[in-house]
Amino acid sequence: MANSIERALESALVDCFHIGQILVRKTNNDGFVLCHRDDHAREDLQTFWNTEDAVDIAKYDDAGNYRPLKTAPNLQHSWRMELGTWEELKCALDYFYPGRLAAFVAWKSGQLRTTSLRETLNRQSGMYRVAAKISDTQIDDLVADFCRSSGGCLRTILWKRDPYGTVASTKLPKEKFDPAYDQGEASSQPGSSAFAEAPADKSNLATATIPLLCQEPCNLLVAECRKVVKGE
């Protein structure tokens, strides 16, 4: 898997690419520079050289609040990371967006399996078992708010609402379900999703943007489903 991820990164990085809110650029000495995509023109950024620094950068937003969802569009600004190898780049991106590179590689090879929201809810136990009682109307509203790219989550939703293939939410734009759209760009445009400048051929999708793919509902969404049912 590690070699597959490195090959995917190599195919993505001609000069630079986006992944979530991060811009990755290749340097003349075959190293890499990472920064927040909003900060690409700034020259006053604090520089880091260790991959482990990504853990602390990803932990808090600009206001110092903890980020429980690492793919939320609230990655802090004002940093710059210089790395020397593909392995360091892979590790850093895995700290910023845990598991998303592996999901991307599995998707490109046609091996990424998805799990519907209903299946996820039906297998809950204990205090979360009640979450399975959420109605379709409530799911429609909750997913539209919790998973939206602007203020919610930058992942592209691949899972369905139920085993019958019902869309996760009819209130989200169709781009939210298409890996060829750049959710990182869309996060700054409420109600819209911006197209990632990539060709229709998905095998070459990563030349501009590596999408953050969501193959199954996360634990935070399950917890929100429980809140809705309990009326919290």
- pLDDT, tens only, 5-21: 767 666 666 678 899 99
User: What's the pLDDT score for residue 13?
Assistant: 61
Domains of the chain: 2-98 (3.30.1360.190), 117-230 (no CATH)
- pLDDT, tens only, 171-229: 999 999 999 999 988 766 544 333 333 333 443 433 478 999 999 999 999 999 999 99
CB of 177 closer than 8 Å to CB of 205 = no
- pLDDT, tens only, 47-69: 999 999 999 999 999 999 999 99
Give the rounded distance of the alpha carbon of 116 from its chain centre: 18
Give the rounded distance of the alpha carbon of 171 from its chain centre: 20
pLDDT tier for residue 28 given thresholds of 50, 70 and 90 = confident
Q: Output the pTM of the full model.
A: 0.87
- pLDDT, tens only, 144-171: 999 999 999 999 999 999 999 999 999 9
Q: Which residues contact 36 (CB under 8 A, 6 or more apart)?
A: 21, 22, 23, 75, 76, 77, 78, 79
**What's the Cα-to-Cα distance from 55 to each of 59, 75, 95, 149, 209, rounded to whole Å?**
6, 12, 6, 22, 22
In degrees to the nearest 10, what's the CA dihedral of 184, 187, 192, 194?
-20
User: What's the pLDDT score for residue 164?
Assistant: 97
Q: In the structure encoding, which two tokens stand for residue 27, read together?
A: 């340097």
Name the phi and psi angles at 112, rounded to 5. -80, 120
Q: In the structure encoding, which two tokens stand for residue 146, read together?
A: 């919790």
